[in-house]
Structure 1
Amino acid sequence: MLSWFVFHFFTLVYFHSEATLTINVQNINRQTGQIRVALYAPCDGFPSNCQPVAGQVIDPTGNSVRVTFAVKPGDYAVALYQDLNRNGKLDTKLFGIPSEPYGFSNNFRPKLSGPNFDDCRVRIDEAGKTISIKLI
């Protein structure tokens, strides 16, 4: 009986475990607006044609902030921006170039087009992970 209980307990813990993804957002130069962070599971068309699996909105309180997500182990990507005017969208200039600070996991810096999921992929295991993203 005890062995049955122990087996099922560890099975539940293993298959339903969550990990913690901690994101340190750095290089916040203005203390206005909101930092909007979106977490994505693997998808085609990242980030604009995908729905985030989780998101958070926080007010900047210094030159860095910390955001934490509880996630199932797996692959994810993060896209974030500082919504300076609090209008709920990333404002852009000519040719779609962002006019507000933004960043991606792996500190990927787009050159001529936006990133794809693989550019920003972060693997989270049961131990969790901490990453840093600098706004540009």
Structure 2
Amino acid sequence: MFYLLLILNLFLTDGNVPSSPKKANLKVDIQNIKTLKGSVFIALFKSGTEFPSGKATEGKKVDANSHSVQTTFSVEPGEYAVAVFHDENANGKMDKGMFGIPKEPYGFSNNFRPKMSAPKFSDCQFTVGNDGKSISIEVK
């Protein structure tokens, strides 16, 4: 019986047992909020997702009660991109005008400003390492 327990213990404490991945903090600071009403929506995308129109990996909604707002995501280290918009009229969606041009302030990581079409993931991509990352996005 002792040998059986010893063998089982060896299998259970083997270094090959998968552990949960280490998480890092991604701090996102949103700047240039002009009107202090409504909410700021922050969408986090992981590499390989349909950015910026697909389903976000994670999203947050923060009250626009200051000219800058902050939030933190707990993520696995890797490649990410962020899309943000200020829902000034609090209707829960990005209002768009003719040809789909946004009527409300928006921004992307790396402060990338698209010219004629939506940005690509690679335009807004950044790396979150084991020690975390802080980024700042200016909405316009």
* Shorter-normalised TM range: 0.7 to 0.9
Q: State the 1:108 CA deviation.
A: 0.4
Q: Which amino acid aligns with 1:114?
A: A
Task: Give the alignment's Cα RMSD to 1 decimal.
Answer: 1.7
Q: Report the alpha carbon displacement of residue 47 of structure 1 after superposing the two structures with TM.
A: 0.9
Q: Kindly indicate whether residue 120 of structure 2 is the aligned counterpart of residue 116 of structure 1.
A: yes
| 1:33 alignment counterpart | 38
Report the TM-score when normalising by structure 1.
0.86
1:46-102: per-residue Cα shift (whole Å, max 9, x none)? 111x21111110101211011100000000110010011112111111111110000
Aligned to 1:88: 92
The one-character-per-residue Cα deviations of 1:77-134 (angstroms, maximum 9, x if unpaired) are 1001001111211111111111000000000000011101000101001000000000
Structure of greater Rg:
2
> Superposition pairs for residues 51-130 of structure 1, below 5 Å?
51-130=55-134
Q: Which residue of 2 aligns with 1:18?
A: 23
User: SS of the residue aligned with 2:99?
Assistant: helix
Would the alpha carbon gap of residues 22 and 44 (structure 1) be closer, same or farther in structure 2, given more than 3 Å must change? closer
Gaps of 5+ in 1: 1-6
**4+ runs deviating over 3 angstroms:** none
C-alpha separation in 2, matches of 1:23 and 1:32: 19
Q: Tell me, what secondary structure is at the counterpart of 1:24?
A: strand
Residue of structure 1 in register with 2:11 after alignment: none
Which consecutive residues of structure 2, in runs of 5 or more, have no partner in the other structure? 1-13
